[in-house]
Structure 1
Amino acid sequence: MTENADVKAYPKLAGGAPDFPALEVEVLDYWARDDTFRASIARRDGAPEYVFYDGPPFANGLPHYGHLLTGYVKDIVPRYRTMRGYKVERRFGWDTHGLPAELEVERQLGINDKSQIDDMGIAAFNDACRESVLRYTDEWQAYVTRQARWVDFDNDYKTLDPTYMESVIWAFKQLWDKGLAYEGYRVLPYCWRDETPLSNHELRMDDDVYQSRQEPALTVGFKVTGGDLDGAHLLVWTTTPWTLPSNLAVAVNPEVTYVAVEVDGRRFVLAEARLAAYARELGEEPEVLGTYRGADLLGLRYVPPFPYFMDTDNAFRVLPGDFVTTEDGTGIVHMAPAYGEDDMAVCEAAGIAPVTPVDSKGRFDSTVPDYKGQHVFDANPHIIRDLKNQSGPAEANGAVLIRHETYEHPYPHCWRCRNPLIYRAVSSWFVAVTEFRDRMVELNQQITWYPEHVKNGQFGKWLQGARDWSISRNRYWGTPIPVWKSDDPAYPRVDVYGSLDELERDFGVRPTNLHRPYIDELTRPNPDDPSGRSTMRRIPDVLDVWFDSGSMPYAQVHYPFENRDWFDGHYPGDFIVEYIGQTRGWFYTLHVLATALFDRPAFKTCVAHGIVLGSDGQKMSKSLRNYPDVSEVFDRDGSDAMRWFLMASPILRGGNLIVTEQGIREGVRQVLLPLWNAYSFLALYAPKVGNWRTDSANVLDRYILAKLAQLRDDLTGSMDVCDISGACEQLRQFTEALTNWYVRRSRSRFWEEDADAIDTLHTVLEVSGRLAAPLLPSVTEIIWRGLTFERSVHLTDWPEADALPADLDLVAAMDQVREVCSAASSLRKAKKLRVRLPLPKLTVAVENPRRLEPFVDLIADELNVKRVELTNAIDTYGRFELTVNARVAGPRLGKDVQAAIKAVKAGEGVVNPDGTLTAGPAVLQPDEYSSRLVAADPDYTAALPDGSGLVVLDGTVTPELEAEGWAKDRIRELQELRKSTGLDVSDRISVVMSVPGERADWARTHAELIAGEILATSFEFGEPAGGSEIGDGVRVVITKA
């Protein structure tokens, strides 16, 4: 650093509390004029690159707290890495395709049905989608800029760009060529409102996808035909009555025991373990006619409850299903293969083809004429009525309704339109994830996750159970699936395209717009049809929007058609961040495509943060207004305050966070104000700008510089592994030491314009400003520029380790001094012994008292005690209380853990030199027990916060001590009077004081003390003319000397 000898003074700061929001706006204006962001990138030209992938948000709505939280992390890590010498591009992206965009346009246009889209035309609808997704880009830029986040909007990418889409269809073609993309007929989660299937991972992204829902639960008897059980009823339980018209089989577990019972002349078959659950209908002890293994029932035939599909081949038999349990229901499961994944698998194995009487809108079709046109959920009560009354379509087949109840359970809802889903067999295109699932698990081990438990927990376990990914959507606005099929099954052919060149080669025209309907217009004669009558036509589906975003690393640069070298040097990315739900979303699809296409991870480090909740602990809701408005917070508290609140919280360690105005303001109190006040204090008392130096011999200067060196190392370690909340806590602790200890204990030195103090504080603020710059970019910019008069703190390098004098012993000793003072102050407060009242003695009992000997006078002065006594006799004033951690020790020790607990409670536990604990028959490891130091006399004794010792306060108050305390109270009042009359704290003053009664002797005894503390060059006793009463009847007149 260069010295500032040519600069005469720090900037003059406005009095009163700082207006952080206004200061931030000044910083943003300065950055815009100075083009600071571009300068920060340009100064790293030629440097190693740190690759950051910015996950694209949907742009058809305004940012919320989740976006802001993620955005802060996306700003902090690149700022830090830039200061560490890397070049970090920050290209912004927009996720523009998919149902979120379509639903917004449907809302705007009043569309309630897909047929209305077909009527208006796909071209017009998609044009509206294109306009909608870019509607809020200006607002997004304003929000992102206001949060002091640096991104490159000028070179942004959009998933709707032709270059991006070409890379996406290239990826699909690669999967096809590798045999990893296929068309299949599967039961999938299906949204009848949007008329499209979903993938399984979409159901696991958010907690609120599964919502509590009440369903009708039926127990229905299906009539057996033939054999010993002819005429008996198989009791079947279902929570989807609407699937009963599609019943084609029932399943039992071959290993479960079943019974036939007789009740009122009717026979019923169910699992023996479920008899008690049906005591109301079957009686407490029904007559058991026979006992069967599930395997004995296989092949048994029955009459379905409804007559619609009686001619289905191989249907209406009892089939084996090892998934059938006796935990609920009857132990016999109804099979409708078109509406259940297990149902489909069991029936396929038995040669039973599914029937599909429910259309794409979730309504019964003409194959079920009695319920035709009814939505499946609306049809439930009609189906139940017919079963109950044995009327209508349920009259002839002999089914009986045994029980109708309401069943409440978590039920999946569409994450886009929030309607309850159904499961439905549909034709879909899939990525064969199960073919390379094990490799995905292996590659996950190369990724660093924060929090670490996500690797083998939420993400790792999801990978282990990964299913084939349904990637086709029966919609309009998205990247087209590049598959053309013959329209004549007599001449089958499938063509898959992966580039514009390939399309131009076969269709004779180069598409300029890959969206529907234009891409659908590309047709050609089927080369495999000698008659020349069939045509190759594109299938109408578009790709799952997650396929778009999962292609971001290569599609943003139009790989492999351009930028091959760039991509090879920037893949995998060094860092990504999103909320924890993206382990089933973006993180997952990135990993799937990276494994399938490149056989390597897509990213090296991933932060998966928790969820931001409203002030009531619920999901944020505009209608409930359960969160403070973002723009209001920016205007009132500032972006740095919001940033600190979010970044310092447990949310970055995977926990959830409740947003409150009080919590946001706490960040101002914890860090912003202390940093500013330290800078303001320096600017006020330094006669000229200080110099960057670290050679002061003063112990407080040496301490804060060594503490700063420790902060530099600790912050570096945390930021290197993206532990941002840990970095915030380290900065908070340092700021507390700086302002509540160093500055406060050094005030008199600044009043005396001590050069060592001024230069030390200048140096500390300059270095800590750089260290805090990624975390608090605005306030550090103002402070740092005010200190150095240079261009920007964000154009500097991270402090080097050898630039600061390290002294771990001094830091440890002074930190213990601070803990001693904190514990003793708490005792004072608890006993209501005011701070300015001197006390006789403080005893400090620690293991190594010699470390504190150089600081005895400092402790005495800080605590206002006459004497400090040091000792290592900790057991004289307290004892260590041991506790067995049964949850940790129990699995290892078994029954011995109770004996260990008993021994410890009896005081028979012994801590061994190696840190283990011998307790009864057991030897516990250090993590299997805890030790807490407990004071023998809690009234006047307190343990240090870290448990390393105790402090004992002598609370005896003599008349002499009371008099001195009285004088110190008056000193405080005089200082407040000085401030209220407009005098500066450094002004010398003249004082005339009148003290009534016996207090006059106290005043004269301590006149020299009072005068010295208030910088009085003249101090007289008498009757002042006029004057002010300051307390205890004392009147005083003060004037500037």
Structure 2
Amino acid sequence: MYNKVETNMNFVDREKQTEKFWEDHDIFKKSMEQRKQGETYTFYDGPPTANGKPHIGHVLTRVIKDMIPRYQTMKGKYVPRKAGWDTHGLPVELEVEKMLGLNGKEQIEEYGMEPFIKKCKESVWKYKGMWEDFSGTVGFWADMENPYVTYDDNFIESEWWALKQIWDKGLLYKGFKIVPYCPRCGTPLSSQEVAQGYKTVKERSAVVRFKVVGEDAYFLAWTTTPWTLPSNVALCVNPNETYCKVKAADGYTYYMAEALLDKVLGKLGNEEEGVKAYEVLETYTGKDLEYKEYEPLYACAAEVAAKQHKKGHFVTCDNYVTMSDGTGIVHIAPAFGEDDANVGRKYDLPFVQFVNGKGEMTEETPYAGLFVKKADPEVLKDLDAQGKLFDAPKFEHEYPHCWRCDTPLIYYARESWFIKMTAVKDDLIRNNNTVNWIPESIGKGRFGDWLENIQDWGISRNRYWGTPLNVWECEGCGHQESIGSRAELAERSGNPDDAKVELHRPYIDAVTFKCPDCGKTMHRVPEVIDCWFDSGAMPFAQHHYPFENEDLFKQQFPAQFISEAVDQTRGWFYSLMAESTLLFNKAPYENVIVLGHVQDENGQKMSKSKGNAVDPFDALETYGADAIRWYFYINSAPWLPNRFHGKAVQEGQRKFLSTLWNTYAFFVLYANIDGFDATKYKLEYDKLSVMDKWLLSKLNTVIGAVDDNLGSYKIPEAARALDEFVDDMSNWYVRRSRERFWAKGMEQDKINAYMTLYTALVEICKCAAPMIPFMTEEIYQNLVCSIDKNAPESIHLCDFPTVNEAYIDKELEKNMDEVLKIVVMGRACRNAANIKNRQPIGNMFVKAPFELSEYFKEIIEDELNVKKVSFTDDVSSYTSYTFKPQLRTVGPKYGKYLGQIQKALAELDGNAAMAELKENGFITLKSVSDDVKLAEEDLLITMTQMEGYVTEGDNTVTVVLDTNLTPELIEEGFVREIISKIQTMRKEAGFEVMDKIMISYQADDKVAAIFDKYGDAIKADVLGLDVVAGSVDGYEKEWNINGETVLLGVKKGE
């Protein structure tokens, strides 16, 4: 028969046993193998880096990415799930630098590139075992034995093919551009990387006096980056705005924008002393000031300009200058900003770059060796000392930092390699519009906006550990070629061994060949590529496409489903879309679930420094995988932030998992007592009770709802449907049917109850298996595999349940919903009257727009312990209502009528007015005006109840409970209390469910009379053999029952 079920909630140990069962029996492999002939449903797993530990956010991504493929597999589809590892890039280098005690590129090169690369290759697997254990514990199924690895030569060769395709289309180019640059890492960052590292910082800006040549006047110009001022070569104004020459109260004459005069100079005035802040002398358009010269701020910049034989230090014009901040005049340093660079090209300005690759001021400046941000206060101090600083206001803004090492980025002119994404902007937008984004607002908004403002992809990195950029350049004439494969490389070099060279630095750097134009040697350019290109290449590179597996790639492209956190909008989601558009001009994915970040219970971002980070291994060991999975599924829409904390996880565990488990335990307990074997019976629908048919109807309705919702990627909706059903099954069906399982023998009604509950348990477990794979497996093994040797070996080898339409009875479900609604209201009335449910009540009246049959009335009577439930058209005699105006809302609407409204409301027939309010949603006070219509929010409503009655209701149903208790009712309630206490003592004494017992009591004559009168009824309910006054020499306990002291005793019968 079935194994005995422990009712403790120690799910963690049981999950470990289930995980071992899956491993021992290769269940994941079998689930893949049996669906090989099915329709392919492709899921791409965004590759994590194995040199970093998993965090709690990875639990969320893992459980979402596991659940949908499990569901689709149970739907009969073949769902390949190849795990992957992201192995290149700065994070790996930084980890190795730290391990070796190195700091920066110079020390890496002193250590040696080859040994450094070998250490990087070792480092990427540092936490591989931890990730695999983590994935197993959380129930994440993927092919970990044959993963794709981005440092693998086959993977890199596929990337080379892709880059060669992009090169041949003329979209890969080398440009001298302003790039976001990390001075610590010595490399530029792509725009999507920059987007991930913004921080709010407080800094000082500078409003600087630039002396006009030939005049005792100054241009007032503003900058947020004082460290760029030594490299200043021009000023810029908006040609279409108005500028003024003014005499200011500080004694200086200034040129600046008219629109900002008060904002900048206003503080110089003194109204009390009659001092004006400024006096306008002349006005100009910005265009009038073009080419007006000023004296260089720093001599070093003038010297460089002279050496370049270029004119600088004059006013330029450009429309990018705005009147929202500053002075309307902007300082120009073409080496440090895209707008500045554009102006520099337009006016052929000198190129001055007094910052080196480490982000330090160069020796030409007075600040040699200082990091740019540390140079800011020194620049301000010097300018102030020279009388050139007008002001240095503090300001707060979002500033980009390196997402890997946290160093402030600088915008820096340098040569880099770019992919011309701007050329495929329309294709990107069109392809994005084919994707089902969940939520849609991310695809249309955050991601769509990103594509609308797309920039060329800065693809190169001046680093070591990464996919080498496959471009060779001639040392003589500068001719360039892109190599698309190892075979092509060997052909160009003439050395067959070059087809076997490792595709990493420094090995690939040693491969050279002859220039076809001038005959000199061609060398590979030194850059590696952005590691985001690696992860974006996984759809084709994981298959070594196009060199092999062409059919396999076509079968598995595009993906039907991917999911990652919202920060991947400009990370993996973008790199996939960019490369797929460039190479195949189609979207690489069809459905995307975007996940919100996991926060602490106060909605704060988790971090080790704050001490609020949750260790995922600790959480899994404490609560178990199913409980955490369930929390993430049901808590909120997946794209919203999730507040993760123990209480919330435990609440879901208690409400859903424990309820399901206890219902299963209940079934097994009584099935074993009766020797019930579900394989020996059939579910005969025509013989079932109404309650059985209701549960089967609900079951099939919920199967359809879960199937529809998971098929539409609506995860919380699917979870809530399961949650509601399990609650109905346990707290309604089982509770209402309990006595059927207790009945003697094996009559048809008992068989029906067993078969109905068995069917519901097995089918709902199959339905929930993708979400809570551990518990459902354990229940399935015991309920199904223990009695049916021909059943699938695992629940995860079963088909997802299908709806049996013949079992769905919507009218029955509607009636039972109405019953439940009335029961909830009746319980509320009992609570309001402070009457326990064990105390019988004489009458309850129900006013409702429907009538229920006697069968359903009897359910309500039994559930609420009411002798008679009557439906009526009028309950007004039990309640009355009084109304007053809600001044907060009525005042603004009908202020002039307020006195009349108060009087009219006081004179209303309260019950008639309440009926009107429920029917129309408002009441009309015609005695005041036909225009005065008061809705519920306009009214303060007080309900008065007739003494001895309690009411509860909503807009459609009103329940009235008669709380007048007769002596007979009180006596019957006392008996129910006695039965309850004896049942409690049975448990406390450790008796088995079917043990017969002896019962004793010691009490006054009043209680003794009750035992005499109701002894047989008490025995029947508690499996009693006899009830005796005195003692039975067993387990005894004193109770206070409704104010009476009673000593009860129980003893196992002979």
TM-score by length of 2: 0.89
Greater mean alpha carbon deviation, residues 435-444 or residues 598-607: 435-444
| Contact 1:970-1:1030 at 8 Å conserved across structures | no
User: Which of these residues, 518, 523, 526, is aligned with residue 512 of structure 2?
Assistant: 523
3-state SS, counterpart of residue 590 of structure 2: strand
| Contact 1:579-1:611 at 8 Å conserved across structures | yes
User: Which of these residues, 235, 241, 254, is aligned with residue 226 of structure 2?
Assistant: 241
The aligned residue for residue 683 of structure 2 is 693
After superposition, the Cα gap between the structure-2 partners of 1:315 and 1:120, relative to the gap in structure 1 and judged at 3 Å, is same
3-state SS, counterpart of residue 225 of structure 1: coil
Name the amino acid aligned to 1:805: Y
After superposition, the Cα gap between the structure-2 partners of 1:373 and 1:955, relative to the gap in structure 1 and judged at 3 Å, is same
State how far apart, in whole Å, the 1-side matches of 2:874 and 2:153 are.
78
Give the superposition deviation at 1:846: 2.8
State how far apart, in whole Å, the 1-side matches of 2:602 and 2:414 are.
41
User: Which of these residues, 4, 14, 17, is aligned with residue 12 of structure 1?
Assistant: 4
The aligned residue for residue 845 of structure 1 is 847
Give the superposition deviation at 1:347: 2.4
State how far apart, in whole Å, the 2-side matches of 1:874 and 1:136 are.
70
After superposition, the Cα gap between the structure-2 partners of 1:827 and 1:915, relative to the gap in structure 1 and judged at 3 Å, is closer
Give the superposition deviation at 1:439: 1.6
Does residue 54 (structure 1) correspond to residue 60 (structure 2)? The answer is: no
Give the superposition deviation at 1:425: 1.4
Name the amino acid aligned to 1:330: T
Does residue 321 (structure 1) correspond to residue 333 (structure 2)? The answer is: no
User: Which of these residues, 401, 410, 415, is aligned with residue 398 of structure 2?
Assistant: 410
The aligned residue for residue 703 of structure 1 is 694
| Contact 1:627-1:660 at 8 Å conserved across structures | no
Give the number of aligned pairs: 993
1:446-465 alignment to 2 at 5 Å? Answer: 446-465=434-453
Greater mean alpha carbon deviation, residues 555-564 or residues 177-186: 177-186
Deviations 1:973-1010 (A, max 9, x none): 11011111222233333323233143334444444443
1:541-556 alignment to 2 at 5 Å? Answer: 541-556=527-542
The aligned residue for residue 889 of structure 2 is none
After superposition, the Cα gap between the structure-2 partners of 1:598 and 1:733, relative to the gap in structure 1 and judged at 3 Å, is same
Does residue 668 (structure 1) correspond to residue 657 (structure 2)? The answer is: no
Give the superposition deviation at 1:897: 15
State how far apart, in whole Å, the 1-side matches of 2:2 and 2:944 are.
51
The aligned residue for residue 857 of structure 1 is 858
The aligned residue for residue 758 of structure 1 is 754
3-state SS, counterpart of residue 302 of structure 2: coil
Name the amino acid aligned to 1:151: A
After superposition, the Cα gap between the structure-2 partners of 1:697 and 1:220, relative to the gap in structure 1 and judged at 3 Å, is same
Give the superposition deviation at 1:545: 0.5
Deviations 1:255-311 (A, max 9, x none): 333322213431122223323323224656322222333333333222232122226
User: Which of these residues, 783, 787, 790, is aligned with residue 787 of structure 1?
Assistant: 783
3-state SS, counterpart of residue 476 of structure 1: coil
Give the superposition deviation at 1:132: 0.3
After superposition, the Cα gap between the structure-2 partners of 1:794 and 1:354, relative to the gap in structure 1 and judged at 3 Å, is same
Give the superposition deviation at 1:807: 1.1
User: Which of these residues, 555, 561, 566, is aligned with residue 569 of structure 1?
Assistant: 555
State how far apart, in whole Å, the 2-side matches of 1:702 and 1:375 are.
77
After superposition, the Cα gap between the structure-2 partners of 1:953 and 1:95, relative to the gap in structure 1 and judged at 3 Å, is same
State how far apart, in whole Å, the 1-side matches of 2:845 and 2:633 are.
40
Name the amino acid aligned to 1:342: D
After superposition, the Cα gap between the structure-2 partners of 1:847 and 1:255, relative to the gap in structure 1 and judged at 3 Å, is farther
Name the amino acid aligned to 2:367: Y
1:82-231 alignment to 2 at 5 Å? Answer: 82-205=73-196, 209-226=197-214, 230-231=215-216
The aligned residue for residue 3 of structure 1 is none
Deviations 1:236-270 (A, max 9, x none): 12221101111122222233333222134311222
| Contact 1:935-1:941 at 8 Å conserved across structures | no
| Contact 2:1039-2:1048 at 8 Å conserved across structures | no
State how far apart, in whole Å, the 2-side matches of 1:713 and 1:650 are.
21
The aligned residue for residue 1038 of structure 1 is 1050
The aligned residue for residue 910 of structure 2 is none
Does residue 504 (structure 1) correspond to residue 495 (structure 2)? The answer is: no
Name the amino acid aligned to 1:373: G
After superposition, the Cα gap between the structure-2 partners of 1:422 and 1:680, relative to the gap in structure 1 and judged at 3 Å, is same
3-state SS, counterpart of residue 383 of structure 1: helix
The aligned residue for residue 394 of structure 1 is none
The aligned residue for residue 375 of structure 1 is 371
Give the superposition deviation at 1:871: 4.1
Does residue 305 (structure 1) correspond to residue 294 (structure 2)? The answer is: no
TM-score by length of 1: 0.90
State how far apart, in whole Å, the 1-side matches of 2:232 and 2:1048 are.
98
Give the superposition deviation at 1:553: 0.1
| Contact 1:303-1:316 at 8 Å conserved across structures | yes
Name the amino acid aligned to 1:364: M
Deviations 1:2-35 (A, max 9, x none): xxxxxxx211223x41421111111111111111
1:348-497 alignment to 2 at 5 Å? Answer: 348-368=345-365, 370-390=366-386, 400-488=388-476, 491-497=477-483
Give the superposition deviation at 1:325: 2.5
Greater mean alpha carbon deviation, residues 580-589 or residues 301-310: 301-310
Give the superposition deviation at 1:727: 1.3
After superposition, the Cα gap between the structure-2 partners of 1:1024 and 1:784, relative to the gap in structure 1 and judged at 3 Å, is closer
State how far apart, in whole Å, the 1-side matches of 2:472 and 2:966 are.
99
3-state SS, counterpart of residue 244 of structure 2: strand
After superposition, the Cα gap between the structure-2 partners of 1:935 and 1:878, relative to the gap in structure 1 and judged at 3 Å, is farther
| Contact 2:848-2:956 at 8 Å conserved across structures | yes
State how far apart, in whole Å, the 1-side matches of 2:160 and 2:318 are.
40
Greater mean alpha carbon deviation, residues 278-287 or residues 658-667: 278-287
After superposition, the Cα gap between the structure-2 partners of 1:1026 and 1:428, relative to the gap in structure 1 and judged at 3 Å, is closer
Give the superposition deviation at 1:875: 8.9
The aligned residue for residue 990 of structure 2 is 982
Give the superposition deviation at 1:896: 12
Name the amino acid aligned to 2:784: T
Give the superposition deviation at 1:389: 0.5
Give the superposition deviation at 1:1014: 1.6
State how far apart, in whole Å, the 2-side matches of 1:320 and 1:140 are.
56
After superposition, the Cα gap between the structure-2 partners of 1:732 and 1:219, relative to the gap in structure 1 and judged at 3 Å, is same
Deviations 1:562-602 (A, max 9, x none): 11111112111111110111111101110111111101100
State how far apart, in whole Å, the 2-side matches of 1:909 and 1:922 are.
19
State how far apart, in whole Å, the 2-side matches of 1:301 and 1:1030 are.
103
Does residue 657 (structure 1) correspond to residue 654 (structure 2)? The answer is: no
State how far apart, in whole Å, the 1-side matches of 2:411 and 2:87 are.
27
The aligned residue for residue 812 of structure 1 is 814
State how far apart, in whole Å, the 1-side matches of 2:590 and 2:440 are.
13
Greater mean alpha carbon deviation, residues 1020-1029 or residues 947-956: 1020-1029
Name the amino acid aligned to 1:137: K
Name the amino acid aligned to 1:308: C
| Contact 1:836-1:968 at 8 Å conserved across structures | yes
Give the superposition deviation at 1:787: 0.7
1:617-1016 alignment to 2 at 5 Å? Answer: 617-650=603-636, 652=638, 654-686=639-671, 687=674, 688-690=676-678, 691=681, 693=683, 695=685, 696-752=687-743, 754-789=750-785, 790=791, 791-802=793-804, 805-848=807-850, 850-851=851-852, 854-871=855-872, 936=943, 940-943=950-953, 948-1016=956-1024
Give the superposition deviation at 1:524: 2.2
- Percent of counterpart pairs with the same letter? 38
Give ranges in structure 1 of 5+ residues lacking alignment. Answer: 1-8, 391-398, 885-894
Greater mean alpha carbon deviation, residues 244-253 or residues 540-549: 244-253
State how far apart, in whole Å, the 1-side matches of 2:187 and 2:164 are.
23
State how far apart, in whole Å, the 1-side matches of 2:438 and 2:876 are.
42
3-state SS, counterpart of residue 650 of structure 1: coil
Greater mean alpha carbon deviation, residues 174-183 or residues 293-302: 293-302
Give ranges in structure 2 of 5+ residues lacking alignment. Answer: 786-790, 887-891, 906-912
Name the amino acid aligned to 1:711: V
Give the superposition deviation at 1:100: 0.9
Name the amino acid aligned to 1:236: A
State how far apart, in whole Å, the 1-side matches of 2:83 and 2:441 are.
29
After superposition, the Cα gap between the structure-2 partners of 1:897 and 1:389, relative to the gap in structure 1 and judged at 3 Å, is farther
Give the superposition deviation at 1:852: 6.2
Give the superposition deviation at 1:152: 0.7
